[in-house]
Amino acid sequence: MALSLAVDGLHAGYGAVKALRGVTLHVKAGETVALLGTNGNGKSTLIKCIMGLVRPERGSVSLTVDGRDYDLTTLSPEGVVDLGVALVPEGRRLFPKLTVAENLMLGAFRRAARSAIRQNLAIAFETFPALQARQNQIAGTLSGGQQQIANHCEDRRAQTKIWSDGADGGAEFQPGDPYRRPWLHHRPWRNRSFGRLRR
Domains in the chain (CATH in brackets) are 3-85 (3.40.50.300), 100-198 (no CATH)
Which pTM value belongs to this model?
Answer: 0.71
CA distances (Å), origin 76, targets 11, 67, 156, 164: 18, 22, 21, 16
Mean pLDDT of 179-188: 39
Cα dihedral sign for 9, 14, 15, 19? negative
CA-closest candidate to residue 96, choices 167, 132, 146: 146
* Amino acid letter, residue 108: A
pLDDT digits (tens, 9 = 90+) for 29-73: 888 888 888 888 899 899 999 999 999 999 999 999 888 999 999
What pLDDT shows up at residue 198? 58
